[in-house]
């Protein structure tokens, strides 16, 4: 029996260590049926360990409106009752569900009771803790915010305000904001060219950027010719396609061209494409003999310069987000 226990514990540890996202786990719902969390793929999740006789139980009054407000935008609350803290979640899952429905009119899914700490902790919670510093769950109504990619964004303790969670959550739920937060510079690409239709959508997003007095002082060249790409691939991250952005040589409209590029990169992100903006290859592209055929194909307007290029393609990597310094922002009130 002891040997079987350690074998089971080892299996749980392997599952936890090998899991790449929350979608690798299975849980039991309120009727004992096994459910794959892959069913929630692409949604923003708030995972909560709850109790019905806790001082924090009234948080249900805030969680249900949050669920109702954002559920239509792909948001789910996953409720896991836990009796480990002061024995404050007594009764069966059916009794707990009846209590929550009668007293708080909840509509988000509740799952079977689990342990969140100790040797019997559910592998899901072991994984959640490992991805937020490894510390034990301190009390009921600890919460984890999960992004649409199945990765943990942030952990919240019992006393953290739901309003704070909502602010963070909006960055994930809003298609525009989540797209901004998800974009990374991609430097490795699959050997697959981008479909012309997608490149057209990227270009359309770009030229809809604002410009001074709507002058649209830019010239965009999107390279699909693979022979031309072969001449410059080593200088452009070996991307299958390239976007060249030109602007007046006097530099007065560089900002407009920058806004154009940002629009195109965000559009590419929404289409499942990766991008990387570069100025490094400009000298090679504009002066090197090896790039002459490429350079001639651009037909840059007179008085314009090649300002930057954007490598674009299907990503062959998933770069992690790098820290951002919020102290750079000051609010003058």
- Of 54, 82, 100, 276, which residue is the catalytic one? 54
Q: Which of these, 211, 216, 274, 277, lies nearest to 244 by C-alpha position?
A: 277
Q: Which of these, 63, 157, 49, lies nearest to 103 by C-alpha position?
A: 63
Q: Which of these, 216, 139, 156, 151, lies nearest to 181 by C-alpha position?
A: 151
Q: Is 54 a catalytic residue?
A: yes
Q: Using a CB cutoff of 8 Å and minimum separation of 24, what contacts does 286-293 make?
A: 290/231, 290/232, 291/231, 291/232, 291/235, 293/228, 293/231
From the number of C-beta atoms within 10 Å of its C-beta (0-12, 13-18, 19+), residue 174 rates as: middle
Pairing of β 75-81 and β 274-278 = unpaired
From the number of C-beta atoms within 10 Å of its C-beta (0-12, 13-18, 19+), residue 185 rates as: middle
Rg (CA), the chain: 26
Answer whether 264's CB lies under 8 Å from 243's CB: yes
Question: CA-CA distances (angstroms) from residue 199 to 163, 183, 195, 324?
Answer: 39, 17, 7, 30
Pairing of β 75-81 and β 44-50 = parallel
Answer whether 155's CB lies under 8 Å from 282's CB: no
Residue 169 to residue 70: CA distance in whole angstroms: 9
Residue 130 to residue 175: CA distance in whole angstroms: 28
- Annotated catalytic residues are 54
């Amino acid at each position: 029996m002891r040997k079987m226990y350690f074998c089971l514990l080892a299996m749980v540890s392997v599952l936890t260590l090998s899991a790449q996202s929350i979608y690798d786990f299975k849980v039991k719902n309120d009727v004992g049926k096994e459910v794959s969390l892959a069913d929630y793929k692409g949604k923003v999740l708030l995972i909560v360990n709850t109790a019905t006789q806790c001082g924090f139980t009234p948080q249900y009054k805030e969680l249900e409106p949050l669920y109702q407000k954002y559920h239509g935008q792909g948001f789910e609350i996953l409720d896991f009752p836990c009796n480990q803290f002061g024995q404050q979640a007594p009764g069966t899952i059916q009794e707990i569900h009846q209590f929550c429905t009668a007293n708080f009119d909840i509509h988000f899914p509740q799952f079977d009771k689990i342990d969140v700490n100790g040797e019997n902790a559910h592998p899901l919670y072991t994984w959640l803790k490992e991805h937020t510093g490894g510390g034990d769950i301190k009390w009921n109504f600890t919460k984890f915010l999960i992004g649409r990619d199945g990765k943990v964004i942030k952990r919240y303790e019992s006393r953290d305000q739901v309003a704070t969670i909502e602010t963070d959550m909006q960055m994930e739920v809003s298609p525009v904001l989540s797209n901004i937060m998800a974009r990374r510079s991609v430097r490795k690409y699959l050997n697959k060219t981008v479909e012309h239709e997608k490149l057209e959508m990227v270009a359309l997003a770009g030229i809809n950027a604002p410009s001074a007095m709507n002058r649209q002082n830019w010239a965009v060249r999107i390279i699909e010719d693979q022979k031309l790409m072969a001449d410059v691939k080593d200088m452009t991250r070996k991307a299958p396609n390239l976007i060249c952005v030109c602007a007046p040589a006097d530099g007065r409209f560089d900002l407009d061209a920058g806004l154009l590029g940002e629009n195109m990169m965000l559009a590419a992100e929404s289409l499942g494409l990766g991008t990387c903006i570069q100025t490094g290859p400009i000298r090679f592209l504009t002066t090197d003999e090896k790039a002459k055929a490429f350079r001639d194909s651009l037909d840059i307007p007179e008085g314009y310069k090649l300002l930057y290029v954007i490598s674009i393609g299907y990503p062959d990597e998933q770069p992690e987000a790098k820290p951002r310094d919020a102290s750079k922002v000051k609010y003058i009130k």
